Amino acid sequence: MLKFLNIRDFVIVDSLELDFSSGFTALTGETGAGKSILIDALSLALGERGDAGMVRNGCERAEIGAGFDISGLPTLQAWLREQALEGDAGECQLRRVLDSGGRSRGFINGRNATLQQMREAGEHLLDIHGQHAHQSLLRPDAQRELLDGYGSLMGDAGEVAQQYREWQAICRRRAQLEQNAEAVAAERELLRFQRNELKTLNFAPAEWNELQAEHARLSHAASLLETAQFGVEILSEADASCLAQLNMLAAKVRAGIKFDAALRDTLALLESAQNELQETVYALRHYQQKLDADPARLREQEQRIAAVVDAARKYRVTPEQLPSALQRITARLGELGGETDLAALAQQEAAAQAAYLAAAKKFSAARKQAAEKLSREITAAMQALAMQGGSFAVALAPLPEGNQHGLENIEFQIATNPDAPLRALTKIASGGELSRIGLAIQVAVSRLASVPTLIFDEVDSGIGGGVAEIVGQLLKRLGQRHQVLCVTHLPQVAAMADTQWQVSKSLRDGATLCAIRALGKAERVEEIARMLGGVKITETTRKHAAEMLGVAA
């Protein structure tokens, strides 16, 4: 539950530190005193968007801090651990800072948090019912979501929606395949031809360099043989060959060593050169024997190169990219599928439809039970809210084909008196009736709420007299199961509260400021009397106020 709320420089609040208790707390005050500021501050702390106008005039920033007891919320505790946002055991603190430039920062348990994370945490902590919430009851989608939420069917609703989307996706694929069957068949035939052509070519990127190198060697074989022969001749076979000349020089140097030993180093160099040149001759002769001037092989290589170049030109790629082109063609063929895919797709479609209908029928049965229960509960509440003899029903209008929301349309219907037929809520309810029915529905749904704190912001608008007392009783009973805060202008509702806070507005140093304080027993009598009697409060009004508080207690 909500334990404390600290507000600083927010709208017309300079500084507030509020501690909360369990049960039903009413916030009251003069019209325009700023009773809803507390709700706005809490909303900001729980991740709602803010703007620079929320910062008090003349201040640099606004700060909102809220602390919650989460010892009874294991799901939230697990979520905080997953997000690395855990704090002290059993506690969760949210803080929001909004500067005058419109920039904001959020913190959960002292760690930086995104607005999305703050909103997700807030979903576990409290629900806020606004004063115009009953207007949403006129929207079909709101009626559907309310029924599913009341029946704890949101998981089933998500499953049915997913089944429907999968079914429709297969339907669209099958229809597209049927519409484009001729074009697809032609494209498939072309792709098959191209795939076979490239497979027959059987070309690999590594082959290209080898192919070019071998072709170059074969096409210049005669010239290469001539070069090798010239080298052998000039080195060893000619009359004045290099080796012959070196041999004669080596013999003379060897003879000269007898007279000068210094020539030994020169002889060593000459003998090394002789060896190197002899090795070169052996290498050239080996190269001559190995080199094959094969015209037939050359023609083969030329034909292979021409085939690869033609294929590359045809598919508008480089030779090295031909295998990638084959992969693309094969992948596209896989996307198009075979001729039997249409029949297989039709079978998949029938199976997906059957799965959807099975889930949707189960969902409809659960919806029917929830609709009957909600109808009984709201009808009973109407009797207490000055709509005696009236009735409420959740109508389920069948949709044979169904949609993502199931096999029926949801419509809230009411009859305002015993002999009137049920008609759509949008066509029959007056503003006051709609407000009362909206409150009854909100209270009914809130009883099932998993969050510990429920806030009602003037949801009793348009209600008065004995009906207001019934509303107070409803909220008081709700406060036995949840922490309930209600902004109200009705003394009958405020009198039923376990705790009452007064919101006031005053002028201080030329600035309008809002204050909130808890009221003692005597102060509550004065505040209830003010709400009953207006400007002038008489002893009779005070007695009436004291009596109302006594009855409520």
Q: 333: which 2 tokens?
A: 């063929």
Q: 188: which 2 tokens?
A: 């498939």
Question: Does the structure show a pLDDT above 80 at 302?
Answer: no
Question: Does the structure show a pLDDT above 60 at 219?
Answer: no
| Predicted pLDDT of residue 203 | 78
Half-sphere exposure of 79 (CA within 13 A, CB side): 16
Lowest mean pLDDT among 377-391, 516-530, 537-551: 377-391
Q: Which residues pair with 25 in a beta bridge?
A: 485, 499
Query: What's the whole-model pTM score?
Result: 0.60
Which among 415, 374, 410 has a CA at the least distance from the CA of 395? 410
Which among 74, 56, 70, 72 has a CA at the least distance from the CA of 108? 70
pLDDT in tens, 256-293: 888 888 888 888 888 888 888 888 878 877 766 666 65
Mean pLDDT of 193-210: 80
H or E stretch at 76: helix 74-82
At 169, the pLDDT band (50, 70, 90 cuts) reads very high
Question: Does the structure show a pLDDT above 70 at 339?
Answer: no
* Strand ranges, E, within 364-445: 391-403, 406-415, 423-424
At 206, the pLDDT band (50, 70, 90 cuts) reads confident
DSSP annotation of 422 reads: P
| Predicted pLDDT of residue 5 | 93
Cα separation, 323 vs 193, whole angstroms: 15
Question: Does the structure show a pLDDT above 80 at 179?
Answer: no
Cα separation, 416 vs 408, whole angstroms: 25
More reliable by pLDDT, 537 or 118:
118
Mean pLDDT of 463-469: 78
Answer for the pair 490, 531: CB distance below 8 angstroms, yes or no: yes
At 134, the pLDDT band (50, 70, 90 cuts) reads low
Answer for the pair 33, 505: CB distance below 8 angstroms, yes or no: yes
Q: Domain coordinates of the chain in residue numbers? A: 187-336
**Residue corresponding to tokens 């009236």:** 390
Buried b (16+ CB within 10 A) or exposed e, 219-234: eebeeeeeebeebbee
| Predicted pLDDT of residue 108 | 94
| Predicted pLDDT of residue 519 | 92
Question: SS3 of 363, please?
Answer: helix
Strand pairing of 2-10 and 24-29? unpaired
Phi and psi (nearest 5°) for 28? -130, 170
Name residue 384's amino acid. Answer: A
More reliable by pLDDT, 466 or 134:
466
Mean pLDDT of 318-346: 79
Buried b (16+ CB within 10 A) or exposed e, 186-216: eebeebeebbeebeebebeeeebeebeebbe
Answer for the pair 235, 241: CB distance below 8 angstroms, yes or no: yes
| Predicted pLDDT of residue 224 | 60
Q: Which residues pair with 65 in a beta bridge?
A: 6, 95
At 403, the pLDDT band (50, 70, 90 cuts) reads very high
H or E stretch at 453: strand 453-457
| Predicted pLDDT of residue 218 | 58
Task: Give burial (CB, 10 Å; 0-12/13-18/19+) of 483.
Answer: buried
| Predicted pLDDT of residue 393 | 93
